[in-house]
A = this chain, B = another copy of it.
Amino acid sequence: MKLLVVGSVAFDAIETPFGKTDKILGGAATYIGITASVMGVKSGIVSVVGGDFPQEHLDMFTKRDINIEGLEIVKEGKTFFWSGKYHNDLNSRDTLATEVNVLENFDPKIPDSMQDAEILLLGNLHPGVQLSVLEKMNQRPKLVILDTMNFWMDSAMDILKDMIAKTDVISINDEEARQLSGEYSLVKAAKKIHTMGPKFVIIKKGEHGAILFHDDKIFAIPALPLEEVFDPTGAGDTFAGGFAAYLAKKEKFDFETMKSALIVGSAMASFTVEKFGTERLEEIKEADMLERIKQFKELTTFTVEL
């Protein structure tokens, strides 16, 4: 299956306790596209960049067989830029600068070559923009996956709810699930979010793993404990990308397949945090991925005899 990704393609400047970078390649769609390509899944990116976006990055996408016909280049504009500094525990960060630039007036254009994508992954953007993508597709994709965040719950809840109503799989963190539902218990929160539309609710908990809810079924995984987390930037996007790409590969959207997809997403995300930006992810081969999934299996497999 083909995966259509709508999300930012950006520059990031990152500082962690281990070092800092100049402007490097970032953005949700970037991480998602690279992740899909590592997994041998064809994806297309719908996004916008400025005239300052280097040809080498475009070449990298093309070389990875990522369709960038939907990646608009606004020659006179500048690419979205984010700069942040992580605290010592890497669990929180300060945003030093956000320059929205060409993303301000982003009007997504779906190329004909991607109109038949079966899976649509809507990266974290204004829910109005996410909705407009759905409206621009000739037919509704078989699966719509939505990534969003508390910022849109605070600033655009009504339109976000419209978007959520048209979503099959929503991916948010635990605090966001509580904010969206008004329920503290994640089990209750997921039930309430089910009634808002999504049949599948993924709750991301960073270093504490993730939980997948579907009707009365629950699947929970820890995160792979890592000796070093170098840079968390892009981990959530890589997770979403690995999740969606696995479904595209298996061409199935049932609970059992989603469970496996959660594992694959987590495994892929565990690579991203090992180096700055997309550096580590770009090095990954299929064998590395298989090895890490095996580690996941070892990490979580048990028998109990009583």
Q: Select A185's contact among B185, B221, B227, beta carbons within 8 Å.
A: B227
Determine chain A's interface SS by DSSP, over half rule: mixed
Q: Select A222's contact among B88, B220, B226, B228, beta carbons within 8 Å.
A: B220
Residues of chain A having any CB pair with chain B under 8 Å: 39, 88-90, 184-188, 205, 208-209, 211, 218-223, 225-229, 249-250, 256, 259-260, 262-264, 286, 289-290, 293, 297, 299-300, 302-306
| Chain B neighbourhood of A89, CB < 8 A | 184
Q: How far apart sit A265 and B209, CA to CA, in the bound complex (Å)?
A: 20
Q: How far apart sit A290 and B304, CA to CA, in the bound complex (Å)?
A: 10
- 5 closest A-B pairs by beta carbon, nearest first, are A220-B222, A208-B208, A187-B227, A260-B304, A259-B302
| Chain B neighbourhood of A229, CB < 8 A | 185
Q: B264 contacts A293, CB within 8 Å?
A: no
| Chain B neighbourhood of A259, CB < 8 A | 302
- Beyond A263-B302, A264-B304, is A218–B225 a contact (Cβ under 8 Å)? yes
Q: Select A304's contact among B209, B220, B293, B303, beta carbons within 8 Å.
A: B293
Q: A225 contacts B211, CB within 8 Å?
A: yes
- Beyond A209-B222, A220-B222, A225-B211, is A303–B185 a contact (Cβ under 8 Å)? no
